[in-house]
Amino acid sequence: METEYTPTIGLEIHAELATKTKMFCSCANAPDETRPNAHVCPICMAHPGTLPTINREAVKHVLRVGVALGGKLATDYSEFDRKSYFYPDIPKGYQISQYEYPLVSGGELAGVEITRVHLEEDTARSSHTNGESLVDFNRAGVPLMELVTEPVIHDVATVGRFARELQRVLRALGASKANLEKGEMRVEANISVSKDDTLGTKVEVKNLNSFRSAERAVSFEIARQIEALKKGEKLFQETRGWEESTQKTFQQRLKEGSADYRYFPEPDLPKLVLKEIKDFTQEAVALTIPELPAQRRERYKQAYQLSDDAIEYIIDTADRSAFFENVAKSLDGDVGLISTATNYLVSDLAGWYAKNGGKEYENIQPASFAKLIRMLDSGNLSSRGAKDILALMAEKGSNPEDIAKEHGLLQTQDREALAQIVSAVLEEHAGVAEEFRSGKESVLQFLIGQCMKVSKGSGNPAVFKELLLGILTH
C-alpha cells in the first residue's frame, strides 16, 4: 500500500447484553428462541400509553465494562435519549439510546483510547425472502451496549486485536456471549485516509460479522479510498456494507448527521444519578470485576512461565482457560508439570481438535489430563504412548490408566524384568554386542530398539539404555 496516505480508523462495537429480560419491559431476552414474536408485549411493541422501565441488570453490565476498561462512570447523571428514525424494525419510530450523558466516558483497551460506552435497545429482526418481508420482534428492546473508540487506529491489525480483546473482556465479565456470527457482537468501522494531519472524509462500514471480515473490509476500504483520491475522485460521507461473496464494500446509504435524528431526553425515564444508587458507584462496581484477560496473561507468565503463544492460545476462550486452570490445580501448581501439560495442551490436544473437530474438552476431564501428565513424568508412559492415550481420551473420555492397560502402553518400572529382557537381547545379538565393544557405539540404538520390541513397548527406553551400558562397558 502507498505510504503517502495514512488511514485513520475508529470503531463502534455493539454487544447484546446477557440479561434475563429486555431493556425496558419484562419480556424474556431469549436470543436462541426460534419461534418468531414469542417474546413481545405492549411495551416493546410500542403500544400507545405504555411506559418503559430501566433494566437494572443491563445498566450494571455496562458499568462493569466501563470500570474494567478504566473508564469513568457518569459523575453527575446519565440519561436516555430518543433517537428518531423510521424503519419497520423499530416500532416506536425512535430508539431509546444515550446521547449527551452516557453511562461511561473514557477508558482504554489494547492500546486504543475509548470515547464512551452507552446503553440502548436493539431493533427487531427483518427478513426478506420470496418477495415477502417479515419482522420478528423477539429482538426488539433487547439491551444493547455500544462502545465507541477514538479515531486513533492506523493499521488493520489493531482493529482485529482490539475487537478480539473486547470479546474476551465481555465474556470474562459475563456481560455478553459476544458471538459475532450470531450478531451478539457487531463491529462497525469508521475509516478515512489522509495525506496530512487533517482527517479525510469518513466512511462507515457495517455488516462485519467475523473478525476476519472486519479486517478484510477495513483493508479493502483503505485501498478503495486511496485509489479514488489518486484518481482525483471525491469521497462521500456514507455507510457501506461488506459483501462476503465479492470481498468488497458497497454503498448502502449516504450518512445522516446526528441532527437528522432529533435526539432529545426520553421524557418517560428518570435520569440516573449513579452515586446515589447503591452498588452503582465507581468503587462498588470495581469490587465486582473478576480477573481480566490482561491480568491473566501476566499471572500465567509470572506463575507458570508460559510462552506468549501458549498464553494467547489458552486465554482465547473461556473453555480453554477453565480447563487449564483445573489442570494446573490438579497438578498442585507444580511449574515443571504444568509446563509439560501446557505443551501437550497447545500442540497435541489442540492438533487433535483441529483435525477431528468437536467441542473442546467435551470428553476429557482436567483431572484425567493431569493424571496422564503425572504418569508421563514418573516414567510410566513413553511420550509416544502419552500422545496415543491423549487422542483416545479426547475421543472417548475414560481414564488414562485404563487406556494404558488396555492398549499395553504402560512402561514397566520393574528393573529386574527389564534386566532379563536386556540379557536375552544381548544373548540373541551377541555379534552386535561385540561390535559395540570394539567401538561401534551407534549399534546401541539398535539394541535399545530390540529391547523395546521384546517388551512390547512397555519398557522405558532410558532404563534399557542404562542397563545395556552397564553390561557392555564392564
d(CA 126, CA 139): 10
Nearer Cβ to Zn ion (39/60) = 39
Nearer Cβ to Zn ion (25/341) = 25
Nearer Cβ to Zn ion (44/175) = 44
Nearer Cβ to Zn ion (27/205) = 27
Nearer Cβ to Zn ion (39/387) = 39
Q: How far is the CB of 143 from Zn ion (least distance, A)?
A: 12
Q: How far is the CB of 133 from Zn ion (least distance, A)?
A: 22
Nearer Cβ to Zn ion (139/171) = 139
d(CA 97, CA 122): 9
Q: How far is the CB of 55 from Zn ion (least distance, A)?
A: 11
- 41 lies in the binding site for Zn ion (CB under 5 A): yes
Write the binding mask 17 to 36 for Zn ion: x where contact by CB under 5 A, - elsewhere. Answer: --------x-x---------
Total residues in contact with Zn ion, by rule CB under 5 A: 5
Residues 44-73 binding Zn ion (CB under 5 A) are 44
Biggest CA-to-CA distance, the chain:
103
Residues 246-285 binding Zn ion (CB under 5 A) are none
Q: How many CB atoms are closer than 10 A to CB 36?
A: 15
CA angle 184/189/192 to nearest 5° reads 175
Of 468, 473, 370, 389, nearest to 424 by C-alpha is 468
Q: How far is the CB of 124 from Zn ion (least distance, A)?
A: 11
SS3 content of the chain, % helix, strand, coil (to 5): 45, 20, 40
Q: How far is the CB of 33 from Zn ion (least distance, A)?
A: 13
Residues 401-420 binding Zn ion (CB under 5 A) are none
Q: How far is the CB of 268 from Zn ion (least distance, A)?
A: 15
User: Are the C-beta atoms of residues 266 and 80 closer than 8 Å to each other?
Assistant: yes
d(CA 161, CA 157): 6
Residues 6+ apart with CB under 8 A from 316: 168
d(CA 471, CA 155): 65
Nearer Cβ to Zn ion (79/121) = 121
Q: How far is the CB of 16 from Zn ion (least distance, A)?
A: 15
Write the binding mask 311 to 350 for Zn ion: x where contact by CB under 5 A, - elsewhere. Answer: ----------------------------------------
Q: How far is the CB of 22 from Zn ion (least distance, A)?
A: 5
d(CA 14, CA 182): 12
Residues 6+ apart with CB under 8 A from 143: 16, 17, 19, 22, 23, 29, 55, 58, 61, 119, 121, 122
Q: Is 390 helix (H, G, I), strand (E, B) or coil?
A: helix
- Could you tell me the CA-to-CA distances from 363 to 314, 327, 332, 344, 408 in Å, in that order? 18, 14, 22, 16, 22
Q: How far is the CB of 285 from Zn ion (least distance, A)?
A: 27
Nearer Cβ to Zn ion (50/413) = 50
Nearer Cβ to Zn ion (135/410) = 135
Footprint of Zn ion (CB under 5 A): 25, 27, 41, 43-44
